[in-house]
A = this chain, B = another copy of it.
Amino acid sequence: MRETLADWRPAVDEAIADLVPREIDTDYLESFFGTPTYEYDPTGIQRALATPLWDLLDRGGKRWRAVLFLVFVEEFGEDPAEYLPYACIPEILHNGTIIVDDVEDGATIRRGEPALHRVYGRDIALNAGNAMYFLPLKVLTQDPAGLPADRRLAAYEMLMHELNRTHLGQGMDICWHNEREVRITTDQYLEMCACKTGCLGRIVARLAAIITDQPPEVERAVAEYAELTAVAFQIGDDILDIEHSLGQAGEFGKEFGNDIREGKTTLMVIHAIQESEPERARRLQELLEAEDNTDDEILEALEILAAAGSIEYAREQALELAAQARGAIDGLDFDAETTRKLNEFTEFVIERDE
């Protein structure tokens, strides 16, 4: 395992550039997409695909999905450098969902710059994001590792299963945003996270297991680790938004009270509505339903969450999920140092401060 995870980033980016080069030309198009029936337009495909994709990637991102994949591959006894093209699969998928989610949410900022649909137009951004759902899956057909057919089929079937559940999770989440009433259970919230965020994690883990031909119980164990860590990450993300807003009280920066404004149904919201006096629960619901909130109203909502102990509750849940994630890989025959890093990672996703 390389010294720090960040060491892998340049190699991952090179592998992505092999799939979608920064500069598109006819040779690349013919080799990746096949001989055209008539004639490709490399200029158009540059503008529609490569430019927006690399704009997003160059803004940063830790490539942790690719790195986690490579860590698993190494633990499964293979040389990660030989599987770099496969590491691009979850990474490009993830960045594709970011572009599409931002269009869906009407987000303005992504990684400190205007969201892609604000730079390139909604049509270009959306098509690029959707193209990124299929581009990386061609790696399995290109088959750089020379996998037997049954593993390639298993990988496609796994990807179709998990990508279906991703859209199920996103569907639930969006639907709840649009509803006036918080009507869901804690378990439904966790399922949404498990589908929306967890399935991409599961892809990371299951892909590593499938292409290195691990037994089903090993594939299940790493998938569980990745899913639980992703759910803990999602809850950590929600907590970060609330704590960030609480810490900002008096400043009211651009991102102050984002999730409250959006009326997002989080674990904290579900808990606060269950645990607060009926009148305060109704008031929280009212604030979340409102088309628009004043800064004072945001503070009021934050206060209800804090008073109900909902932030601590959510953190405990996240920590419990992180512990379960560590438990999931406990029985695997992983190197002690890798296990330590994988364990550390489950808490990092909750305790990170950005």
**What residues of chain A have their CB less than 8 Å away from a CB belonging to chain B?**
29, 33-34, 36-41, 43-45, 47-49, 100, 103-106, 121-124, 126-128, 130-131, 133-135, 137-138, 140-141, 149-150, 152-153, 156-157, 160-161, 163-165, 167-168, 170-172, 174-178, 183-185, 187-188, 190-192, 194, 198, 227
Q: Which of B103, B141, B168 touches A157 (beta carbons < 8 Å)?
A: B141
- Tell me the dominant secondary structure on chain A's binding face: helix
Q: Is the CB of B36 within 8 A of A100?
A: no
B165 near A121: Cβ-Cβ < 8 Å: no
Cβ A164 vs Cβ B187 within 8 A: no
B41 touches A164 (CB 8 A): no
A105 to B126 alpha-carbon distance, docked (Å): 11
Chain B neighbourhood of A177, CB < 8 A:
123
| B contact residues around A183 at 8 Å (CB) | 43
Please give, as numbers and ranges, the residues of chain B lying within 8 Å of A174 by CB-CB distance. 48, 121, 123-124, 127
The 25 listed contacts between A and B (C-beta, < 8 Å) are A33-B168, A34-B165, A36-B191, A36-B194, A37-B194, A38-B187, A38-B194, A40-B168, A41-B172, A44-B176, A44-B188, A45-B175, A48-B172, A49-B167, A49-B168, A100-B126, A103-B126, A121-B178, A124-B178, A126-B126, A131-B168, A134-B163, A134-B164, A141-B161, A153-B153
CB < 8 Å neighbour of A49 from B135, B171, B188? B171
